[in-house]
């Protein structure tokens, strides 16, 4: 997978990390093959892991490579809301862990016609609602976190964790399409990305934006080793503890120098509000 | 529409974001926050040789609707295609956060979002995307207390992460001039090919993503003509209606059942979508 476009073999990273984390878990039934969910034990606490994975037989042909399409958006929403409903009367709210490797939202005619924006909203709202109800929500970025796919599956999390690897990237649009929309060449975009951190694709530059909670060094991103898995589990446990003593909004993303304008805007708005 | 009506009608679409906001709030109640004179502009555009705008293309207008505290957030579609950068995104997210806070303090405050936007401003890419995630979070929060009313009037329409923001709103209002969908036609064509989506075939694009179609298929709640008074009346009605009994994004089983009934071996047309969604989605 390059940062140029969506072509190329589907990434199996999301599936690999999902399966590694849920090896001793209980799979959640009733979901399509492109949405995997399992209930696991995380250092004595129950958690649900959710991933969107490639499914070559997906009924929707434009969502066969791990994209978040109509079925994926609505079913992720279901997998999340079922947890919230089940824990409604419990004081201990189960954690939700989104394993993120979503090459994009699905680009297609069927998707637009049947309201893919509504499907993505369903997933995003489900995570946001879970977070507001007190469920710790963590996104573990192991591959691509692209645009609408990430907004639906992961970006509403209390904490964002990524692994440091060349195939891990976060962005709003692949370069070929971004070049067409902004009337620039791919070369021009690459040049800008080298000096403007928010335009870059790599996770190193993304880390500069102050949005990530942790960036993890693993030995094998495509085949996690036992120490890799231990590191990720320990980090998830640490994230849970950190979330439990923090506000449940997204304010922890606002600390960096790179996002100074985001802070200034909020400060001035507050001064002028009443 | 005959000519005499045309002369009397006062176009909403022809207004800029500031004028649209003023036309929605109670007469004389509007106060702009972080306006052009505060000069909080994009810190990222200048170094890319792009002229900034003193309000970064987003109007934060506080005032009242039906005498109740309200904030109208108007995206100026003529600046960078209404795209969301760090500053414009933070203005919208920050204002929605304060509105939710007001509700928790016992000051019922509602919001109206005027969506004329292509989504993320690609020159600020990841900071635009991050801001949109924060806008989603803030809508999901505020709508628990008071209506968040989305409006896509035209002519830019609403796309990308901001169409997802629209889909999170308590109510969505569209006109015939609105286009409302996730991916812009050019991007779909770029990613999926011209057979899948011909970005130059305007009638085809309108037939699937135009305001009339979105209303007919239950993905929007009100269809309004391009007229200031009509728009004002509809917003007032929805503001009074309060928080809706059910939100579209929570009707998961219903939508999944409808998607199950689709023959995905063929490409759908406008009439087929109306037939399938017209039954179920439209309550």
CB B140, CB A133: distance < 8 Å: no
B134: nearest CA partner in chain A: A250
Work out the angle at residue A127's Cα, subtended by the Cα atoms of residues A269 and B223, and round it to the nearest 5 degrees: 70
| Predicted confidence (pLDDT) per residue in B55-105, tens digit | 999 999 999 999 999 999 999 999 999 999 999 999 999 999 999 999 999
DSSP string of B33-79? ES-GGG----TTTGGGT----TTTTEEEEEEEETTEEEEEEEE-TTS
Tell me: the pLDDT tens digits for B174-219?
A: 999 999 999 999 999 988 999 999 999 999 999 999 999 999 999 9
Q: What percent of chain B has pLDDT over 70?
A: 95
Contact A174 B191 (CB under 8 A): yes
- List the single residue in B122, B134, B267 with the smallest CB-CB distance to A173: B122
* Cβ atoms B217, B174 nearer than 8 A: no
Average pLDDT over residues B37-61: 96
Conformation bin of residue B43: beta by default, left when phi > 0, alpha when psi is -120 to 50: alpha
Task: Tokens for B12, please give them.
Answer: 């909403």
Q: Which among B87, B184, B252 is the nearest to A265, CB-wise?
A: B87
Distance from CA of B7 to the nearest CA of A (A): 35
Show Cβ contacts of residue A2 under 8 Å, excluding neighbours closer than 6 positions: A8
Range A119-128 average pLDDT: 98
Beta carbons of B133 and A262 less than 8 Å apart:
no
Query: Using the beta-carbon criterion (under 8 Å), do B129 and A147 form an inter-chain contact?
Result: yes
Q: Mutation test of the interface with chain B: which of A115, A135, A196, choosing the one with the most B Cβ atoms within 10 A?
A: A115
Q: Where are any strands of DSSP class E within chain B?
A: 31-33, 58-65, 68-75, 110-114, 148-152, 171-174, 222-223
Contact B90 A249 (CB under 8 A): no
ipTM above 0.85, yes or no: yes
Q: Where exactly are the structural domains of chain A?
A: 13-273
**Residue contact B86–A262, C-beta within 8 A:** yes
- The fold adopted by the segment(s) A13-273 is 2-enoyl-CoA Hydratase; Chain A, domain 1 (3.90.226)
Contact call for B163 and A198, based on CB within 8 A = no
Domains and CATH numbers, chain B: 11-180+220-247 (3.90.226.10)
Query: Min CA distance, A11 vs chain B (Å)?
Result: 17
- Taking each helix axis as running N to C, give the angle between helix B252-260 and helix A116-132, from 0 to 180 degrees, rounded to the nearest 10: 150
Q: Are strands B171-174 and A159-163 parallel, antiparallel or unpaired?
A: unpaired
Is residue A106 a contact partner of residue A120, using CB atoms and an 8 Å limit? no
Q: Are B125 and A171 within 8 A, CB to CB? A: yes
């Amino acid at each position: 997978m390059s940062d140029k476009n969506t072509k190329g073999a589907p990434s199996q990273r999301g599936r690999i990390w999902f399966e590694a984390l849920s090896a001793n878990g209980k799979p959640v039934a009733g979901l399509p093959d492109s949405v995997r969910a399992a209930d696991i034990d995380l250092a004595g606490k129950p958690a649900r892991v959710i991933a969107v994975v490639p499914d070559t037989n997906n009924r929707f042909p434009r969502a066969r490579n791990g994209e978040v399409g109509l079925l994926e958006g609505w079913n992720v929403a279901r997998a999340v809301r079922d947890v919230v409903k089940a824990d409604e009367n419990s004081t201990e709210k189960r954690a939700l862990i989104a394993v993120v490797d979503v090459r994009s939202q699905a680009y297609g005619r069927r998707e637009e016609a049947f309201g893919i924006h509504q499907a993505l909203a369903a997933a995003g709202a489900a995570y946001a609602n879970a977070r507001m109800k007190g469920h710790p929500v963590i996104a573990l970025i192991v591959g691509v976190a692209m645009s609408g796919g990430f907004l639906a599956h992961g970006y509403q999390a209390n904490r964002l964790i990524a692994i440091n690897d060349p195939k891990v990237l976060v962005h709003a649009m692949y370069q070929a399409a971004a070049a067409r929309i902004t009337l620039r060449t791919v070369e021009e975009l690459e040049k800008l990305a080298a000096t403007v951190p928010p335009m870059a694709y790599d996770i190193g530059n993304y880390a500069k934006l102050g949005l990530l909670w942790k960036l993890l060094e693993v030995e094998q991103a495509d085949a996690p080793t036992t120490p890799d898995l231990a590191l990720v589990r320990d980090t998830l446990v640490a994230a849970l503890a950190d979330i439990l003593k923090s506000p449940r909004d997204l304010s922890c993303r606002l600390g960096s120098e790179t996002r100074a304008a985001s802070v200034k805007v909020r400060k001035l708005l507050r001064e002028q509000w009443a | 529409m005959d000519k005499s009506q045309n002369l009397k009608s006062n176009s909403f679409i022809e207004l800029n974001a500031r004028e649209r906001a003023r036309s929605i709030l109670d007469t004389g109640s509007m106060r702009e926050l972080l306006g052009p004179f505060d000069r909080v502009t994009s810190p990222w555009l200048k170094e890319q040789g792009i002229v900034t705008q003193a309000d970064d293309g987003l109007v934060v207008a506080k005032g009242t609707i039906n005498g109740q505290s309200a904030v109208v957030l108007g995206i100026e579609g003529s600046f960078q295609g209404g795209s969301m950068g760090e500053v414009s995104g933070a203005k919208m997210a920050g204002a929605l956060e304060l509105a939710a806070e007001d509700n928790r303090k016992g000051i019922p405050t509602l919001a109206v979002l005027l969506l004329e936007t292509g989504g993320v401003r690609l020159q600020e890419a990841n900071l635009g995307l991050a801001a949109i995630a924060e806008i989603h979070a803030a809508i999901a929060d505020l709508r628990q207390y008071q209506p968040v009313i989305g409006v896509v009037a035209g002519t830019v329409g609403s796309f990308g992460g901001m169409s997802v923001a629209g889909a999170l709103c308590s109510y969505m209002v569209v006109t015939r001039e609105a286009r409302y969908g996730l991916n812009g036609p050019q991007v779909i064509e770029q990613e999926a090919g011209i057979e899948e989506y011909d970005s130059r075939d305007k009638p085809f694009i309108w037939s699937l993503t135009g305001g009339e179609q979105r209303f007919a298929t239950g993905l929007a709640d009100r269809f309004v003509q391009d007229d200031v008074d009509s728009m004002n009346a509809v917003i007032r009605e929805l503001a009074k209606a309060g928080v809706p009994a059910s939100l579209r994004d929570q009707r998961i089983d219903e939508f999944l059942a409808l998607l199950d009934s689709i023959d995905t071996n063929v490409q759908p047309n406008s009439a087929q979508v109306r037939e399938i969604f017209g039954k179920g989605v439209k309550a």
